[in-house]
Structures are given as structure tokens and as C-alpha cells.
Copies of this chain bind each other. A is one copy, B any other.
Amino acid sequence: MADAQLDVVGVGNAIVDVIAKADEALIERLELSKGTMTLIDSDDADRLYGEMGAGIETSGGSAANTLAGIASLGGAGAYIGKVRDDQLGGVFSHDIKAAGVDYRSRPATEGESTARCLIFVTPDADRTMQTFLGVSVMLGPDDIDPEAIGDAQITYLEGYLFDRDEAKEAFVKAAELAHAAGRKVALSLSDPFCVDRHRASFRHLVEGHVDILFANHDEITSLFETDSFDDAVRQLVGKVDLAAVTRGAEGSVIVTADQVIEIPAEPVASVVDTTGAGDLYAAGVLFGLTQGFELENAGRIGSICAAEVISHYGARPETSLSALVKEKLG
């Protein structure tokens, strides 16, 4: 096996976030499912955008946020995700390159427009996401860059992309290429509703192709159809090499064949917007794993990165995570 040129290559959506403050009454009136991600079509996107307050636009996409975090930590990352050749596609492409990530996808010249995620941030810092996936979801096996996959220690797959058969095929292709090159495959479950919609496929992917699993409490209990977090954690053992499961303010748990390590959350003076918390936690853990940190410290780095991103609006770091981790971990 050749030395890896890259630490992590991400495969996921390519989305521009539209962030606006919202009060609880608006979430109720629009009948949104608070705190979750809902897929919407182009008409709903226009309608809901019309109901939103004045916003800021900033690049997002779950795995793309993770790769931006890895770059800010000093890791070498690449990204595969689809935009159109439109203005928002230009914004996404610019931002991920400016973040220091090697962006491997060319903009599509036809099809729907670049994906947008309308993010309503309530005063409790919770975020309710309404996503128009546009061209992003058209990612298929042909978009998987074998060179990038072979070059990376870890291929990181974004569960949100898992709604179309072509994307599932792309994931399996990426996983097989990674394993053939002696590399590891990581997956983020992304969303409990997405897990509900595709439980069998996710179980098949996790059990057959995934070495490292990221999930939160709701996703992991949904995957194993249990109410018990401890039961879900027990079921993980043997199915993956390592699972990192987040529990919001209670921190996270890293599970391996012979260890269950509890990781505390990093204290935050003021939580502003929780968008990107899971994405940046994954960035920290993946960076820690690829740099050979002990598991507990990899988890701590994840907590530090998540704490930075929830202290401001937007799902990507605003400060150098590398400097922040040096300061906190010593």
C-alpha cells in the first residue's frame, strides 16, 4: 500500500446555506419539523424563502463542512460533490477551495441549479433545515474519482446523499475502491429521517462496507430500531471498527470492539447556531485518527471543533482550528 497523499476525501452534497433568524411562531406557522432536515422541491424552496427573514449565504453541505474543518486543522483533504455552473455553484466552489480543500468536481452544465439549504435558526440556537438538493443529488458512480479515493487514508461518505439509487451505487463504488487500495471507509448517518427511509440499505452499507461510523443518538437508535442508546451501542460492536456517537450537550461516545470511551462536550460561552456541530465533530475525530492521536484525544479534538462552530452563525469554522486545538489540548 502506497503512502496516502490525502488524509480524507469526502463524498457528499454541495450546498449553499441560506441562514436567517426565526422565531418559534414562524416554525409553527410553516409547519416545519424543528431541529431536523427536510427535503423540499424547487417550488417549496421559493415559497419558504419568501417567508424567511433577510439572510446570509455561506457554503455548507455536511461532508463539505467536515472537509473544511479538516483543512483548518491542518489536514490534507479533497472533496467530491456536484454543483451547477451558476452563481451559487461559484460560491460553493470558491469557498471550499479557499478553505484549503482540493475540490475534485467540475460544475455540471445542465440539470437543476446548485443546492440550497434554508436554515431557520431559533433563539434556542436550534436549526431547522429545508433542503432543495438541486443538482447535488445527481452524483453517481461516474463522479467518484478513483485517484482521490486511492490517495486518501479515509473516504468519508455523507448519508444525506443516500436518497437516490445512483448515489448508493456511488457510495459502494467508493467504498470498494478505498478497500482495494487498503484504505478505510467512514460514513455519517446524517439524519434520522434519512435512516428511516433507507434503513435496509444503510444497514447493508454499514455492515458490508463501513469501518468508521458517525451518528447521533436519534440516528443510531433508528438504525437499530431500538429505544435504548446502550442497546444501539452494543449492536455496533463487531459491525464497524469504530463508531463515534454524539449526544449534543452531553458530549459523545467512541465505541470500538473492546472500548467505550466517553468524551465530554467542550464548554461554550454562548451557543448561537448549532448548524454544523456534528460535521465539525467528525472533522476533529477524522483528523485525530489520520494523525495517529489516541482515541480519547481524537474525540476531544472533535468536541473542540464542534464548540467553535456552534459559537457563531454558519457551519464552517471562523478561526484556525489548528491553533485552537493547540491551545486547548496543549
Interfacial residues, chain A to chain B (CB-CB below 8 A) = 20, 49-50, 52-59, 68, 86-88, 91, 94-96, 98-99, 113-114, 314, 316
Most buried by B among A54, A57, A86, A91: A54
With CB as the reference atom, state the residue of chain B lying closest to A20.
Answer: B98
Q: Which residues of B contact A55 (CB under 8 A)?
A: 58, 91, 94-95, 98
What are 23 A-B interface contacts by the 8 Å CB criterion?
A: A20-B98, A50-B94, A52-B98, A53-B98, A54-B59, A54-B94, A54-B95, A54-B96, A54-B98, A54-B99, A54-B316, A55-B95, A56-B56, A56-B58, A56-B314, A57-B57, A57-B58, A57-B91, A86-B86, A86-B87, A87-B87, A87-B88, A87-B113
Q: How far is the CB of A182 from chain B (nearest CB, A)?
A: 33
Further contacts, 13 of them, CB under 8 A, given A54-B95, A56-B314, A87-B87: A50-B94, A52-B94, A54-B59, A54-B94, A54-B96, A54-B98, A55-B58, A55-B98, A56-B56, A86-B86, A86-B87, A87-B88, A87-B113
**Which B residues lie within 8 Å of A58 (CB)?**
55-57
Residue of B nearest to A313 (CB): B56
Q: Are B56 and A57 in contact (CB under 8 A)?
A: yes
Which residues of the other chain, B, contact A57 by a CB distance below 8 angstroms? 56-58, 91
Shortest Cβ gap from A238 to chain B (Å): 40
User: What is the CB-to-nearest-CB distance from A25 to chain B, in angstroms, rounded to a whole number?
Assistant: 16
Most buried by B among A52, A87, A96, A316: A87
Kindly state the separation between the CA atoms of A172 and B86 in the bound complex, as whole angstroms: 37
Q: How far is the CA of A20 from the CA of B99 in the complex (A)?
A: 11
Nearest residue (CB) in B for A94 is B49
Considering only CB atoms, which chain B residue lies closest to A116 in the complex? B87
